[in-house]
Amino acid sequence: MNTILGTSGAAAFEPESLRHDRAVARDAARGAALASGVKLAVRNLTMRYPNGHTALQDMNLSVEAGDMVVVLGSNGSGKSTFMKCVVGLNRPTTGTVEVAGRDLTTLSGKAMREARMPLALISQHANLVRRRSVLANVCCGALGRHRTLATTLGRMPRDEIDPALGYLAEVGLAELAGQRAGTLSGGQAQRVAVARALAQAPQVLLADEPVASLDPEAADEVMRLLRRLATEDGLAVVCVLHQPELATRYADRLVGLRRGKTVFDRPASDVSQREIADLYVADA
C-alpha cells in the first residue's frame, strides 16, 4: 500500500516495540558490516581529459567498513575528479573503482544504477525539497528500490516510513519529521541529508565538502555524526574537506592529494602539520 508523504509527515511517536526491533536489526547490520572488509577499492586510477590535462594519476585507495578517511588538497589537486570517478560521473582513463566488490568503470545504464546502490553521496548543499516534509525528504533515499509510476507521483510504499523515522532518530532529528524542510537551519538540513543517504542502505558513504557552508558548531555536529556512522554503524566513510583541523580531529586516515598525485595516505596521527600545509603551497 502506498502513502503520500507531504508536509504533515507521519506520527511523531512510535511504539517502544518498534524502536526495540529497529535497534536489534541495526546492531545486526553493524556487526555484518564491520566483518565484511573492503567496501571501496580504487586501483591505479588515472583521469586524463581530452585537452591533455591529467587531473588524477595512478591513485590507489582502499577503505574498509568502519573506516573514516578524509581526503585533503587544494583546488585543482584532483579531489573533485576523484569523487566524480567514484560515483560514475567521469569514466577514468585507466584503473578501476570497486564498490562492494563490483567494478563501476565497466558498467553503464541499469547495471550501473544497481551497482551504485551501496554508494551514497552527501554534497556541500543538502538539496532538500523545501516544500516537502523532513520525513518525505528522507524517504527519497529509498527511491532506487522503488522505480514505479507511483513514486514519480510523489508516493512512497508505507514500509519505508518506519525505517525513515529510524534514520531521523539516528541523526537526532526524529521530532522534526513532520516539519517542512525549508524551515530547517543549515546544520539540520545537512543532517537530514545524511538521514536521506542512510535510507539508501549504503555500505559506502561519500561526503563531498559536507560542512563547507556551515558554522563551526554545526560543522562539528555533522563531522561527529559521520564519525559515528563509521565507528558504530560500520559504514566506509570517505570525506573530502577543506578544513585540515576537522580532518585531523575526526579521521582515521588522511589522504593528501597534490597536482593529481597521492602525497600521503596514513593514519591521521602520523601526518604532520607541515605535510598538510605543504598541500596548499602554491606552485612556483
Domain end: 154, 177, 201, which one? 201
Residues 107 and 241 in one domain: yes
Q: How do residues 150-181 score in pLDDT, each as one tens digit?
A: 555 556 667 788 999 999 999 999 999 999 99
Give dist(CA 279, CA 264) in Å, integer.
10
Domain count, the chain: 2
Residue type at position 154: G
Residues 83 and 217 in one domain: yes
Give dist(CA 142, CA 117) in Å, integer.
10
Residues 43 and 114 in one domain: yes
Domain end: 160, 185, 201, which one? 201
Residues 196 and 216 in one domain: no
Residue type at position 163: P
The pLDDT, as a whole number, for residue 58 is: 97
Residues 58 and 93 in one domain: yes
Give dist(CA 250, CA 241) in Å, integer.
11
Asked whether 105 and 267 are in contact (CB, 8 A), the reply is no
Q: How do residues 203-255 score in pLDDT, each as one tens digit?
A: 999 999 999 989 999 999 999 999 999 999 999 999 999 999 999 999 999 99
Asked whether 178 and 7 are in contact (CB, 8 A), the reply is yes
Considering the entire predicted model, what is its pTM?
0.84
Residues 208 and 279 in one domain: yes
Residues 44 and 80 in one domain: yes
Domain end: 201, 228, 259, which one? 201
Residue 20 lies in a domain: no
**CA dihedral in degrees (123, 199, 113, 132; nearest 10)?**
-70
Strands 236-240 and 204-208: parallel
Residues 111 and 211 in one domain: yes
Residue 142 lies in a domain: yes
Give dist(CA 29, CA 23) in Å, integer.
10
Alpha helices in the chain (DSSP H): 16-34, 79-87, 109-115, 134-139, 149-152, 161-170, 186-199, 216-231, 244-250, 273-278
Domain that holds residue 111: 36-118+203-283
Q: How do residues 251-266 score in pLDDT, each as one tens digit?
A: 999 999 999 999 999 9
Residues 210 and 278 in one domain: yes
